[in-house]
């Protein structure tokens, strides 16, 4: 199947290289006169107008995409959003009804836990919308509405390009619902559309400028036994995604934490030499959070942590405390996750490769888990 990889060393290498197209193709056909109009949702306004809450359900990487989407949907559509793991949601008698919109996210559209949660919610009268990468899969067929991600087929077991496509679809959904519910003005929405449309080129820039550097860093760290990831706001789910990828691909113990939670426990884990990735919010876009994250970096560095900062180009505040800085281009605060995750995907792949592991087929995992 070397031909299918199109010259790449692995499907994962190919799929990470396709992250720009995954975003661009998911946006395509869904912007009209600078506003998001999702043709598949035509005539389905009642799915969004009468609801009082949204619950996103998913498993694995898709659930982290959901956690990122929560921030944008709440901000733009002014509706409360919860994110739940599908297998937890179903077995706890959730309070749902016809005022609830369930948004499921699944690359395969076949994950049994997610499917069963969607059916369960439907039986209880909730409205259901599926974000899915696979045309005609079971979960979209069981849902009232579908927004497909157009990442193209994903072969590597651990999800990469589908993740950025899922966040893109959630952002499009947030902008669509914000318009339908009248909570988001056209001028502001148009700004966000421009931001989203600029993401593919910015991801390309990360791949061009940083991929070699990150792979080398991963190579140097091949003996690492534990890695921590810190983020705040939309950077928090990205920290968890970075940790998940490292567990999946490199079999390394990894944890993602909310940076603000550090002093409430995880800081006890910091000892000299402990590698910690920190996702640094934009100094312009997050004037409040940026200095807080920088002081977190200062604190862990004082305890001997080896800090790898993922920071916006030009952000000099991190330089005195970071051992390594991985640069991402400027983006609005809500859009940073689509950039910050790219170095983490490359890093996990690089570490797996440095350890001589099968990056496409990690042990014990399946691409699509069709049993409960
Ligand atoms: C499996 C895969 C993960 C994926 C999860 C959800 O566990 O190994 O990479 O995130 O399933 O899959 P789905 O197809 O529902 O997005």
Per-residue model confidence as pLDDT tens digits over 31-49: 999 999 999 999 999 999 9
Q: Which residues line ligand 1 (CB under 6 A)?
A: 59-62, 106-108, 111, 114, 157-159, 365, 367-369
Question: Cα(128)–Cα(19) distance, rounded to whole angstroms?
Answer: 27
User: What would you measure as the largest C-alpha separation in the chain, in angstroms?
Assistant: 58
Question: Cα(275)–Cα(249) distance, rounded to whole angstroms?
Answer: 17
How does pLDDT run across 85-98, given as a tens digit for each residue? Answer: 999 999 989 999 99
State the ipTM, two decimals.
0.94
In this predicted structure, what is the pLDDT of residue 372?
A: 82
Chain mean pLDDT for the chain:
96
Question: Are 26 and 338 within 8 A, CB to CB?
Answer: no
In this predicted structure, what is the pLDDT of residue 154?
A: 95
**Which residues are annotated as catalytic?**
367
- 108 CA distance to ligand 1 centroid (A)? 7
The yes-or-no verdict on residue 259 having pLDDT over 60 is yes
pLDDT band at 4 (very low <50, low <70, confident <90, very high): confident
The yes-or-no verdict on residue 355 having pLDDT over 60 is yes
pLDDT band at 368 (very low <50, low <70, confident <90, very high): confident
Protein residue whose Cα sits closest to atom 4 of ligand 1: 60
Protein residue whose Cα sits closest to atom 11 of ligand 1: 368
Torsion of CA 264, 239, 26, 144, to 10 degrees: -40
CB atoms within 10 A of CB 244: 22
- 222 CA distance to ligand 1 centroid (A)? 26
Taking Cα atoms as reference points, which of 286, 311, 228 lies closest to residue 262?
228
In this predicted structure, what is the pLDDT of residue 3?
A: 56
Rounded average pLDDT over 343-353:
97
In this predicted structure, what is the pLDDT of residue 21?
A: 98
Q: pTM for the full model?
A: 0.97
Rounded average pLDDT over 67-84:
98
- 274 CA distance to ligand 1 centroid (A)? 29
Ligand 1 atom with minimal separation from the 61 CA: 10
Protein residue whose Cα sits closest to atom 15 of ligand 1: 106
């Amino acid at each position: 199947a070397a031909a299918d990889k199109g010259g790449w060393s692995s499907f994962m290498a190919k799929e990470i290289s396709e992250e720009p197209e995954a975003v661009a193709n998911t946006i395509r056909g869904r912007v009209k006169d600078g506003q998001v109009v999702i043709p598949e949702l035509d005539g389905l306004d009642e799915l969004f107008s009468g609801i009082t809450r949204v619950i996103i359900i998913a498993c694995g990487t898709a659930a982290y995409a959901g956690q990122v989407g929560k921030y944008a949907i709440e901000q733009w559509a002014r509706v409360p959003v919860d994110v739940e793991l599908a297998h937890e949601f179903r077995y706890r008698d959730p309070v749902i009804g016809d005022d609830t919109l369930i948004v499921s996210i699944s690359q395969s559209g076949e994950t049994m836990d997610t499917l069963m949660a969607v059916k369960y919610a439907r039986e209880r009268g909730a409205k259901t919308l599926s974000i899915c990468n696979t045309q005609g899969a079971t979960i979209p067929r069981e849902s009232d509405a579908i927004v497909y991600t157009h990442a193209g087929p994903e072969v590597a077991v651990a999800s990469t390009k589908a993740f950025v496509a899922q966040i893109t679809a959630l952002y499009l959904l947030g902008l669509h619902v914000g318009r339908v519910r009248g909570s988001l003005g056209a001028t502001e929405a148009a700004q966000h559309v421009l931001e989203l449309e600029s993401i593919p080129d910015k991801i390309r820039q990360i791949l061009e400028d940083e991929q070699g550097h990150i792979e080398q860093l991963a190579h140097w760290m091949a003996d690492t036994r534990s890695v921590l990831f810190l983020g705040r706001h939309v950077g928090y789910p990205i920290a968890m995604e970075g940790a998940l990828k490292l567990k999946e691909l490199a079999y390394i113990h990894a944890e993602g934490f909310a940076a603000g939670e550090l002093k409430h426990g995880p800081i006890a884990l910091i000892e000299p030499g402990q590698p910690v990735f920190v996702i640094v919010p934009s100094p312009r876009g997050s004037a409040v959070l940026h200095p807080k994250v920088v002081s977190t970096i200062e604190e862990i560095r004082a305890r001997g942590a080896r800090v790898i900062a993922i920071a916006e180009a030009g952000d000099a505040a991190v330089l005195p405390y970071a051992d390594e800085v991985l640069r991402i281009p400027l983006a609005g605060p809500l859009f940073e996750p689509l950039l910050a995750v790219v170095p983490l995907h490359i890093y996990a792949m690089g570490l797996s490769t440095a350890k001589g592991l099968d990056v496409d087929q990690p042990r014990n995992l399946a691409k699509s888990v069709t049993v409960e």
